[in-house]
Amino acid sequence: MRFGIAFKLTLLLTIFGLMAMGLVGYYTYASSRVTLLESAQRDLLTATQVLGRQFESSMDVVASDTRMLASLSSTPAVAADRITQAQSPEVSRLADAFKALMAVRPAYLQIRLISAAQHGLELVRVDRDGHVLLTIPEADLQEKAHYAYVFNTVRLSRGQVYLSDISINHEEGAHAGLNQPTVRVATPVLGADGRVLGLVVINLDLNGLFHRLRSVLPSAYQVYLSNHWGDYLIHPDPAEAFGFDAGRRVFIQDAFKPVGRLIKGVGGSVVTTAAPVQQRSDGLVAAFVRLPYGGQAEDKRFVILGMSQPMVNVIQEIDRQGWKTVQMIALVGFLSVLLAMLVARRVTRPLKVMTNAMTHFSENQTVSHLDFKRHDEVGVLAASLNVMQHTVVANLHELNESREAIRHLAQHDGLTGLPNRALFADRLQQALAQAQRDQSRVAVMFVDLDDFKPVNDTYGHQAGDSLLVAVAQRMQACVRNADTVGRVGGDEFMVLLPMVLSVQDAKVVAEKICQSLSQVMVIDGHALAISASVGLAIYPDHARDQFSLLRQADEAMYVAKNSGGNRVHTVGE
């Protein structure tokens, strides 16, 4: 019996498929231990990073609560007057507000209003004592000026928040917070004149906070937290935490060596293994991340947050997943052999060519010409794909051109091509953000043309438009490439000068613009003489935010115009 090439090819594919799937199955089973261990490490690191973001978010909530309490009308009133509990209902209302917040924030152990005077005397204090919220009577209020969280907070500006170091609370009379790990979150209370009257302080239960954060984690996960020195603040064995409070130092980098790199500032995360103190025969898989800690951007403190799970749990999962992988590969291999026996080469080869062509086309829009000399369904499909590729490329090209044109029109003035108000505002916002980081200056000018309306009335709007284009060109010639000239409407222009060294430097540019615009312009054969009124404002000398800076420049421009025009007026002159 003679066998055809189709049978021989099928037999060859069957033998090859069985051998290949057998080798792949064996390799996959052998290598799955390493692969799944790395996957478990990545999952643990991801869980640690998520817990870190939840911790940062929780601290942001506490900071927001302190600012909210400091902004209550009763807070500065009590702090300013230093009134006693018996003298004013404002104290009672403030204590009720503290209690209301503590009722919905079970991690808050204590909220206080402390005076900036009277040696840091507590004016209002609410403590948690079990399930009871206590308003501390006036006779039991204490002086706290010698504590770091008090004298550091009264130096802050409005809205700034101070986070104390995480420590054991030894302040007498703290009720449920006494001898408990705590974080003190404080913000200053300012009067109408900007004077610091006192501070609002929230004592946060660290253990309670992390108990709620890790409640959704698997029970096998253990949580670690250390300060920037490496001292344990949270540990699966409570005896290891806050060793420095008992006169001994227990460092996280001693148990997990790679964490030392995080403490030195090398990298932001690390995954490692270690042997626990109590169970030397069983290892741990652990992941740690470095989190910034502190209420201010210039605060260099940080904490190390980590999680671990027993290695035996990972190994069991690896073995279980490895066996499942072997079973799946065996099943897929068998099905693949059956499929190879059914697929004819005449069908698979052209389909593979078309698939590759479409893959290249979808990834980088490379057109592949499918030249099949066939008149069956495969040939019709190839011809259709050729037409489709060219049509899609042409449509994408038109779409990209239209998108770019729309983006340009949305951000630029249609007449002069200058940035419009929206684009100018965006660049101003970026310049102010950069100036805040670099401690530099930013100048903004409002430029309004004098005697522009008579040009329109006398020579027509076409001449007026040509004049505006010429004005734009002259203004651009007076500034640097890094500066921005924008048209915000009619005959009004704005100029942005980032990285200005002094007010005088900005004024020189403004005078240059004013002088340039005062020179005669020849438009459509007519010699036209106009001038400009320029208002100049400097960040941070005249304003500290975008809207105030624009308003100051606009008002300065009107002063220049009301003074006769053709001049520059700087805010404050």
Per-residue DSSP letters for 4-37? PHHHHHHHHHHHHHHHHHHHHHHHHHHHHHHHHH
- 284 neighbors 311 (Cβ within 8 angstroms): yes
> Which residue among the candidates 65, 231, 448, 491 is catalytic per the annotation?
491
Q: Count of CB atoms within 10 A of residue 417's CB?
A: 13
The DSSP code for 1 is -
CA distance 413 to 569: 26
Amino acid at 105: R
Instruction: Provide the pairing of β-strand 526-528 with 284-292.
Output: unpaired
CA distance 3 to 26: 33
Q: Is residue 438 flagged as an active site residue?
A: no
For residue 399, what are its two tokens? 């779409």
Per-residue DSSP letters for 267-333? -SEEEEEE--SS-TTS-EEEEEEEEE-SSSTT---EEEEEEEEEHHHHHHHHHHHHHHHHHHHHHHH
For residue 219, what are its two tokens? 């029970």
Helices then strands, counting H and E runs in the chain, come out as 15, 19
The DSSP bridge partners found for residue 528 are: 521
For 56-90, give the secondary structure using H, E and C.
Answer: HHHHHHHHHHHHHHHHCCHHHHHHHHCCCCCCCHH
DSSP-based three-state secondary structure for 555: helix
- CB burial string 481-520: b at 16+ within 10 A, e below: eebbbbbbeebbbbbbbbbbeebeebbebbebbbeebeee
C-alpha closest to that of 329 among 12, 32, 11? 32
- 275 neighbors 284 (Cβ within 8 angstroms): yes
The dihedral built from the CA positions of residue 159, 164, 168 and 170, taken in this order, carries a sign that is negative
CA distance 20 to 32: 18
The DSSP code for 123 is E
The dihedral built from the CA positions of residue 251, 256, 260 and 265, taken in this order, carries a sign that is negative
C-alpha closest to that of 109 among 193, 173, 175? 175
- 447 neighbors 416 (Cβ within 8 angstroms): no
CA distance 452 to 492: 10
What positions carry a catalytic annotation?
491
